[in-house]
Amino acid sequence: MREDQFRPGHYACPGCGVAIAMRLVLRALGKRVVVVVIPSCSAVIGGAYPNSAFSVPAFHSAFEIAAPTAAGIARALEILGQGDIPVVAFAGDGGTFDIGLQALSGAADRNENFIYVCLDNEAYMNTGIQSSSATPPLAWTTTTPSGRSGRKKQIMEIMAAHRIPYAATASIGYPQDLMEKVEKAKGIKGTRFIHVLTPCPTGWRMPESLTVKAAVLSVETKVFPLYEIEDGKRYRLTHIPKGLPVKEYLKIQGRYRHLSDGAVEAIQQEVDEAWDRLLGHVEAASKGGPRRN
């Protein structure tokens, strides 16, 4: 049994998906790791001075710089002969898709040596549920009171376009898969990106008991498929979803309460198209690049 590096008594809301994800990621990484958090739920969850929910060194950096902060630590550890210590950055969807995207792109382009975990709860939850570019279409937030008009930014495609050695999606509904991906990432050098959908009862307007169920349904409805991408091109599914109707996922969340049947159908169509596109990538990869393993 692996030891938890994320302690009880943290500051997360009841039923927080982010806290579950952090616990799993840190359990997979072990005791020798340096953690970077930025303004987001993850930073608040870590606790206030002089307390800490982390039993490993952690740094609360600034909003848009999770990536260069992690890169600076990793470079310095290398200089100090401690290059074996992994650096993991936890950032929210706002800090990743929006304000931190330029810095993340720069670091990924340089293939800086860190694991970047995007804890995506699909809005600025820490400041009270404002829309980000990770907020899905038609979802309610306090700044999209009649539903978001934009579409969710395809962060995995953006990261794949940087041809980083490893990118993966992961879910708190599938802890074994999540931890295996973190372990795999740990064994690779360079920029590694893990996108975790972290349901948020507070912001998604659902009971605290439904966090894990929402995570499972997001995967099984193909809203959030589980896969990995190596070197920006080798796509591989790590779980075959049941293909449940998207409605099953939407109906447990108050943020979708206002949706008409037509709107649900439109979302289903978008999910189907995205799945087909993903399958296309997976099939292209399996048709045999020479380096496929």
Partner 1 sequence: MRELLTGNYAIAEAVRLCRVQLVAAYPITPQTPIYERLSDWESQGRLGGVMMRMESEHSAMAACISASLTGVRVFTATSSQGLALMHEMLHFASGNRAPIVMACVNRALAVPWAFGSDQTDTLSQRDTGWIQFYCEDNQEALDTVIQAYRVSEEVLLPSMVVIDGFFTSHFLEPVEVPDQSLVDQFLPPVDIPRRFDVEDPRYVANVVSPPQYFHFRQRSFRDMERAKAVIQEVDQGFKEVFGRGYGLIEAVDVEDAEVVLVTSGSIASTARVAIRSLRDRGERAGLLKIKTFRPFPSKKVRHVLRGVPKVAVVDRNISMGKEGIFCQELKAALYALDARPAVFGYIAGLGGTDVSPGVLEEIVIATLRKDEPEDVPVWIPGD
Q: Does 26 bind partner 1 (CB under 8 A)?
A: no
Instruction: Please state, in angstroms and rounded to a whole number, the distance separating the CA atoms of residues 88 and 29.
Output: 9
Q: Which two tokens stand for residue 210?
A: 């439904």
Cβ of residue 268: shortest distance to partner 1, in angstroms?
38
Question: Between residues 44 and 226, which has the closer beta carbon with respect to partner 1?
Answer: 44
Q: Could you say whether residue 70 binds partner 1 (CB under 8 A)? A: yes
Is 284 one of the binding residues for partner 1 (CB under 8 A)?
A: no
Which SS3 state, helix, strand or coil, does residue 189 take? coil
56 binds partner 1 (CB under 8 A): yes
User: Is 253:213 a contact under the CB 8 Å cutoff?
Assistant: no
Tell whether residue 186 is a contact of partner 1 (CB under 8 A). no
The amino acid sitting at 63 is F
Compute the distance between CA of residue 158 and CA of residue 161 in angstroms, rounded to an integer. 5
Tell which one of 19, 33, 170, 215 touches partner 1 (CB under 8 A). Answer: 33
The residue among 76 and 284 lying less far from partner 1, judged by its C-beta, is 76
Q: How far is the CB of 188 from partner 1 (least distance, A)?
A: 20
Residue 238 C-beta: closest distance to partner 1, Å: 30
What span, in angstroms and rounded, lies between the C-alpha atoms of 120 and 115?
15
**Tokens linked to 31:** 């005791």
What type of residue is 137? Answer: P
Q: Is the peptide bond before 50 cis (omega within 30 degrees of 0)?
A: yes
**Cα–Cα–Cα angle for 20, 155, 83, rounded to 5 degrees:** 65
String of DSSP letters for 57-103: -EEE--TT-HHHHHHHHHHHHHHTT-TTS-EEEEEEHIIIIITTHHH
Q: Are strands 234-237 and 87-92 parallel, antiparallel or unpaired?
A: unpaired
Residue 115 binds to partner 1 (criterion: CB under 8 A): no
Q: How far is the CB of 158 from partner 1 (least distance, A)?
A: 15
Smallest separation, CB 105 to partner 1 (Å):
7
Nearer to partner 1, 58 or 226 (CB): 58
Among candidate residues 272, 136, 287, 293, the one with its CA nearest the CA of residue 228: 293
- Based on the shown chain and the rule CB under 8 A, indicate whether residue 117 belongs to the binding site for partner 1: no
The count of chain residues that interact with partner 1, using the rule CB under 8 A, is 44
Tell me: does residue 110 bind partner 1 (CB under 8 A): yes
Residue selected from 20, 22, 41, 73 as contacting partner 1 according to rule CB under 8 A: 73
Q: How far is the CB of 278 from partner 1 (least distance, A)?
A: 29
User: Is residue 92 a contact point for partner 1 (CB under 8 A)?
Assistant: no
**Residue among 117, 107, 121, 92 nearest 27 (CA):** 117
Check residue 57 for interaction with partner 1 (CB under 8 A). Answer: yes
| Binding-site ranges for partner 1 (CB under 8 A) | 31-34, 36, 43-44, 46-49, 51-52, 54-62, 64-65, 67-73, 75-77, 79-80, 85, 102-103, 105-107, 109-110
